[in-house]
Amino acid sequence: MNKQFGWIALSSLLSALLSVGIYHFVVPRQEVVIRETVMPAKHPYEEMLPAAENDLGNPSPRFFATSAPNHFTEAAERVITAVVNIKAENRHWLRRYHGGISTGSGVIISQDGYVVTNNHVVEEADNFEVTLNDKREFTAELIGTDPSTDLALLKIDAKDLPHIEFGNSDSVRIGEWVLAVGNPFNLESTVTAGIVSAKGRNIDILEGEYSIESFIQTDAAVNPGNSGGALVNTRGDLIGINTAIITRSGRYEGYSFAVPSNLAYKVVRDLRDFGKIQRGVLGVGIQEMTNELAKELGLAAAEGVYVNRVTSDGGAFKAGMRRGDVIVRVNGSKVLTMPQLQELVARYRPGNKVQVEYFREGKLEKAEVVLQDAFAAGSDENTEETAYLRTLGFELRDLSEDELQRLSKAGVYVVSIYRFSTIEETQMEPGYIITHVNNKRVKTRADAIRLMQEAGAEVVLDGYYEGYSDTYAYTFRP
């Protein structure tokens, strides 16, 4: 009986194997491919920026890592025809000094001829020539500039141009492959590859109180002439505008930096729609968190941005925020550093509402802050006074009511210091509070400017830094 059962089992197994073999021989083999589903979505800031008649294109809707690192040919083919060479001339300087020419790269971002580039490529120039990848040349109109982000917008009179779509720079991940595309020295488009080394980098190259430095750092080779070119992912979407390198030799050494596309998108829309930047601010002074400060505040980690000042009647003040709060999220995006916070807020316009999450006394709080115009408060300032301060190399403002109550002494606050200026040579730092000019008491910005102008050959400033008991003196010749 057992032997008979064994023969039956063996016969069944052989029949099954034979059937499978015949099936695979007769039926063609099929390949199964599993793909990730991509759901269309709005760009995170598109709804804040209404479309105009000449649209700049819809930003790429992807909110996840974008890299497909096996080859770059398709991305390069999509991008190189949309990267241009820009020659900027100051014709007055050319006539007088036989100089005044700068060159760089630019990116066509719309089929009707809008070109984004760096402000430092076009600044102080009055004539702009754009050469396309196919050798066509155009005279461009300067639509507007934003020194605070080192971006500028040009327009050429053309139609049906190849252009690059804006991607979502928030989805870019460290270690992701990217391409840097430029048109240096009129060599037509040059493509280099690298990976994202870091995000939210501040390298202290832009001047002014409202400068925004939250660069994407890569190791893609970028050399002089590539400024204003495109940083794209391996799909060919624009994720940054190449802006700067760190170098000691004057040549590329492995560190290049790009303005994130989400910030560039907002700046470009402002320049196109208004000719200038619409900069919204929270109305707070901020500083980086430290381990010591986190322990003092009872926080588990040194994450977020510490609020060291709240402007009276500003958006944050009206929303209930106070000095000592630690901002950790804006509109759901995590905030770890000052550059991140500045970039996130800079993507919105005055009047927009943003949701701010912050810690206060160890408890997570939320506030809806209406952003105010960064430039409205200074619109009544005497332009001659501002120009005088600029020649010295710094910006001043009066102390707020909140600061006067907290500090219990009057003074003038140093907002920012320009690089390579007279004031920078004194080793003064932003945040210095001037109390005396040549031993004379000052209470307002106007007092300080008047006394410096009357000082003669030498100016001595006395003052202090908040949080430090010592007083400091700085001397310079105006």
Under CATH, to which class is 280-373 assigned?
mainly beta
Summarize pLDDT for 356-370 with one digit per residue, the tens. Answer: 999 998 899 999 999
Summarize pLDDT for 386-402 with one digit per residue, the tens. Answer: 788 988 988 888 887 77
The larger pLDDT score, comparing residue 385 to residue 428, is at 428
The larger pLDDT score, comparing residue 232 to residue 60, is at 232
Residue 449 has pLDDT above 50, yes or no: yes
Residue in 431, 434, 435 with CA at minimum distance from that of residue 416: 431
The larger pLDDT score, comparing residue 133 to residue 5, is at 133
- Grade residue 20 by pLDDT with cuts at 50, 70 and 90: very low
The larger pLDDT score, comparing residue 336 to residue 25, is at 336
The larger pLDDT score, comparing residue 56 to residue 344, is at 344
Assign domain 383-476 one CATH number from 3.10.180.10, 2.10.109.10, 2.30.42.10, 3.30.70.2660: 2.30.42.10
Q: What is the model's pLDDT at position 106?
A: 94
Q: What is the model's pLDDT at position 242?
A: 92
Query: C-alpha distances in angstroms, 394 versus 114, 145, 427, 448?
Result: 34, 21, 12, 12
Q: What is the model's pLDDT at position 470?
A: 87
Residue 218 has pLDDT above 80, yes or no: yes
**How confident is the model over 62-79, as a mean pLDDT?**
66
Which backbone phi and psi does 178 adopt, to 5 degrees? -140, 160
- Grade residue 246 by pLDDT with cuts at 50, 70 and 90: low
The answer to whether 302 and 290 are in contact (CB under 8 A) is: yes
Q: What is the model's pLDDT at position 52?
A: 43
Q: What is the model's pLDDT at position 136?
A: 93
The vertex-107 CA angle with 104 and 108, nearest 5°, equals 135
Q: What is the model's pLDDT at position 115?
A: 96
- Grade residue 223 by pLDDT with cuts at 50, 70 and 90: confident
- Grade residue 282 by pLDDT with cuts at 50, 70 and 90: very high
* Dihedral sign of CA atoms 310, 314, 315, 320 in order: positive
Per-domain residue ranges of the chain: 56-79+166-274, 81-155, 280-373, 383-476
Q: What token pair was written down for 429? A: 């730092």
Spatial CB neighbours of 266, under 8 Å, sequence gap ≥ 6: 45, 48, 49, 346, 347, 348, 349
Q: What is the model's pLDDT at position 6?
A: 52
Q: What is the model's pLDDT at position 307?
A: 92
Virtual CA dihedral for 106, 110, 113, 115, nearest 10 degrees? -20
**Which helix (H) or strand (E) is 129 found in, with range?**
strand 127-131
**How confident is the model over 28-38, as a mean pLDDT?**
33
Residue 107 has pLDDT above 60, yes or no: yes
Q: What is the model's pLDDT at position 37?
A: 30
CATH architecture of the domain formed by 56-79+166-274: Beta Barrel (2.40)
Strands (E), 261-350: 280-281, 284-288, 305-310, 326-330, 333-334
Q: What is the model's pLDDT at position 225?
A: 77
**How confident is the model over 287-300, as a mean pLDDT?**
88
Q: What is the model's pLDDT at position 15?
A: 58
Assign domain 81-155 one CATH number from 2.40.10.10, 2.40.50.140, 3.30.390.50, 3.40.190.10: 2.40.10.10
As beta bridge partners, residue 257 has 217, 244
Residue 371 has pLDDT above 70, yes or no: yes
Residue in 123, 343, 315 with CA at minimum distance from that of residue 211: 343
Q: What is the model's pLDDT at position 392?
A: 93
Spatial CB neighbours of 428, under 8 Å, sequence gap ≥ 6: 394, 414, 417, 461, 474
Q: What is the model's pLDDT at position 90?
A: 82
Summarize pLDDT for 303-316 with one digit per residue, the tens. Answer: 899 998 888 778 99
Q: What type of residue is 406? A: R
Q: What token pair was written down for 132? A: 């396309």
Q: What is the model's pLDDT at position 53?
A: 43
* Residue reference for tokens 């999509």: 78
Cα separation, 454 vs 456, in Å, equals: 6
280-373 matches 81-155 in CATH topology = no
CA atoms within 13 A on the CB side of 129: 12
**How confident is the model over 216-232, as a mean pLDDT?**
86
**Nearest-10 crossing angle of helices 383-392, 445-454:** 60
Q: What is the model's pLDDT at position 401?
A: 74
Active site residues: 120, 150, 227
Cα separation, 342 vs 43, in Å, equals: 19
Kindly state the percentage of the chain with pLDDT values over 90: 41
Q: Is 0.75 topped by the overall pTM?
A: no
- Grade residue 220 by pLDDT with cuts at 50, 70 and 90: confident
Query: C-alpha distances in angstroms, 245 versus 151, 185, 241, 324, 461?
Result: 16, 17, 12, 36, 36
Q: What is the model's pLDDT at position 29?
A: 43
Summarize pLDDT for 431-444 with one digit per residue, the tens. Answer: 899 999 999 999 99
The answer to whether 257 and 229 are in contact (CB under 8 A) is: no
- Grade residue 84 by pLDDT with cuts at 50, 70 and 90: very high
Residue 254 has pLDDT above 90, yes or no: no
Query: C-alpha distances in angstroms, 187 versus 118, 131, 301?
Result: 19, 11, 49
Cα separation, 48 vs 38, in Å, equals: 23
- Grade residue 33 by pLDDT with cuts at 50, 70 and 90: very low
Residue 48 has pLDDT above 50, yes or no: no
Kindly state the percentage of the chain with pLDDT values over 70: 78
Residue 353 has pLDDT above 70, yes or no: yes
